[in-house]
Structure 1
Amino acid sequence: MKIFRTKQALQTYLDKIRENNQRIALVPTMGALHEGHLSLVKDAQQIADVVVCSIFVNPTQFNDPSDLERYPRPEENDLRLLQEVRCDVAFIPTVEEMYPKTEESWHLDLGNLEQIWEGEKRPGHFQGVTQIVYKLFRLVEPDVACFGQKDFQQVMVIQRLIDIKKLPIALHICPTIRNEKGLALSSRNTRLSEAGKNKASALYRSLNHIKHYFKERELTVLRKEALDILYHEEELEVEYLAICESRSLQEIDHIDPTKSHVALLVVWVEGVRLIDNMLLD
């Protein structure tokens, strides 16, 4: 595995790859890698000749400075995991490398995606996400970019970025990887106790209930039943639970058979904010 820490070194290497007409896939991460991230790399290996995994804790997408400070950065372990799955390239830049002092201001018109759900709860977050992803896209010039379904709204935001900038990049959405109790794998899970992880498995049960009865019950009834599953566990605090049309993420009050739908869920467990979703159609 090649390891690069500067844009210039990575660009020089990838220029040679392109000369050989090899297909490049990009897997952007913030490190603290787990099986979910590694599944993205494995998926990318099936559809590209060379896989570039970036590891960069992006400061512009954090609203809370203490959250940025606490974010885990186990670089040595991350590199070991990438080598084990035979990733081709790891790109690990510094903040100074990605955000030079001559940085231009950034704003992308994300429409309603920036006003609802994660956009409302974390103002400016998606501007930070699109800013760093666009930097990586321009640097790597991938044929395909792999993102996990777990951050579904983020995936829709990245698709909007690709559309607005008219980038020749295919977006590949990889399924959420879960543990044996259904909890979606996340770097934040390391901050949960075993009891907390057990309680958090209610997120999957709640989403699964919505999926199972989606075509059979009134949505208001279904939503209440899903909330009851969550509230049955003590010390779970629900931030939001919504059943939405999957592209616009607008909440629905009836099912449109011509569209696809998704359930979005955010719950706090032991002071840790957990995000999950499930495609319903």
Structure 2
Amino acid sequence: MKIFKTKKELQSYLLSCRAAGQKIALVPTMGALHEGHLSLIAEAKKLAEIVVCSIFVNPTQFNDPKDLEKYPRPIENDIALLQSAACDILFLPEIAEMYPADDSPWHIDLGELDSIWEGEKRPGHFQGVTQIVYKLFRLVAPDIACFGQKDFQQVMVIQRLIDIKKLPVSIHICPTVRNKDGLALSSRNTRLSEEGKIKALVLYRSLRYIKDHFGSVSPSQLRQNAINILLQEDGIELEYLAICESRTLQETDTIMAGNSYVALLVVWLEGVRLIDNMILQ
């Protein structure tokens, strides 16, 4: 695996890859890698000859400086995991490399995606996400970019970025990786106690209930029943649970043939904010 820390080095190497007719896939990450990330690398390897993984803890998408400061950065372990996954290239820039002093201000009109659900809870977050992803897309010029379904709203935001900027990038949404009991793999889960990890399985049970009964029970009743399932577990504090049309993430109480839908869920447990979702149709 080749490791590049500057844009110039990376672009120079990728020029030779393109000259050889090789397709390029990008997997953007903030590090603290786990099996979920490695599944993105595995998917990317099926889709392209060259897989670029970026690790960059992006300061512009953090609302709280303390969260940025305490974000895990186990880089030696991350490198070992990427090598074991046969990743081709790791791009590992410093902040000054991605945000030079003469950087232009950034704002993109994401519509309601910027103000509902995660957009409402984390103001400015998706502006920061689109800013860094746009920089990476311009730099790497990938044919394909792989993102995890777990951050579903983020994927829809990035699709909106691609549409607005008319970028020649195809997004590949990779299914959420779960443990054998259904818990979505996440770096946040490592902050839960063993008892907390067992309690957190209720997220999957509630989402599974919605999927299994979707179409036969109204969305509003499904939502209420799923909330009842969640609240049977001590220590679960619900932030939101919504059944939405997939592209707009508008909450719905009617199911239209031909549309796709997703259930979005956020809870707090042991002081940890847990995010999950399930594609319904």
Question: What is the aligned partner in structure 2 of residue 81 from structure 1?
Answer: 81
1:234-261 CA-to-partner distances (Å, cap 9, x unmatched) read: 1111100000000100000111112110
Alpha-carbon distance in 1 for matches of 2:105, 2:218: 46
Shift of 1:21: 1.1
Separation in structure 2 between the aligned mates of residue 206 and residue 271 of structure 1, nearest angstrom? 20
Instruction: Report the CA distance between 1:218 and its aligned residue.
Output: 2.1
Q: Is 1:189 aligned with 2:160? A: no
Matched-pair identity in %: 69
CA distance in 2, matches of 1:60, 1:16: 32
Q: What residue in structure 1 maps to residue 172 of structure 2? A: 172
Residue in structure 2 matched with residue 94 of structure 1 by the alignment: 94
Residue identity matched to 2:243: I
Runs of 4+ displaced beyond 6 Å: none
Q: Which residue of 1 aligns with 2:64?
A: 64
State the alpha-carbon separation in 2 of the partners of residues 134 and 218 from structure 1: 39
Which ranges of structure 2 fall in alignment gaps of 5 or more residues? Answer: none
**Counterpart of 1:41?**
41
1:66, CA displacement in angstroms? 1.2
Q: Give deviations 1:122-141, integer Å, cap 9, x for gaps.
A: 00000000000000000000
**Residue equivalent to 1:128:** 128
Residue type at the aligned position of 1:45: K
The Cα of 1:215 is off from its aligned counterpart by 1.1
CA–CA separation in structure 2 for the residues paired with 1:134 and 1:188: 26
- Which amino acid in 2 is paired with 1:117? W
Structure 2 counterparts to residues 231-270 of structure 1, below 5 A: 231-270=231-270
* Distance of 1:28 and 1:251 partners within structure 2: 29
Deviation at 1:220, TM superposition (A): 2.0
Structure 1 segment 11-22 matched on structure 2, within 5 A: 11-22=11-22
Q: Indicate the SS of the match to 1:146.
A: strand
CA distance in 2, matches of 1:212, 1:122: 31
CA distance in 1, matches of 2:213, 2:167: 38
Query: Equivalent residue of 1:43, what SS?
Result: helix
In 2, the alpha carbon distance for the partners of 1:108 and 1:230 equals: 36
Q: Secondary structure of 1:264's partner?
A: strand
1:207-226 matches, cutoff 5 A: 207-226=207-226
SS at match of 1:151: helix
How many pairs does the alignment contain? 281
Task: State the 1:184 CA deviation.
Answer: 0.7
CA–CA distance in structure 2, aligned partners of residues 71 and 189 of structure 1:
13
Instruction: Provide TM-score, normalisation by structure 2.
Output: 0.99
Paired residue for 2:55? 55
Structure 1 portions without partners, runs of 5+: none
Q: Give the structure 2 partner of residue 28 of structure 1.
A: 28
Deviations along 1:25-66, one digit per CA (max 9) or x if unpaired, are 000000000000000000000010000000001010011111
- 1:239, 1:125 → 2: CA distance? 17
> C-alpha separation between the residues in 2 aligned to 1:165 and 1:229?
42
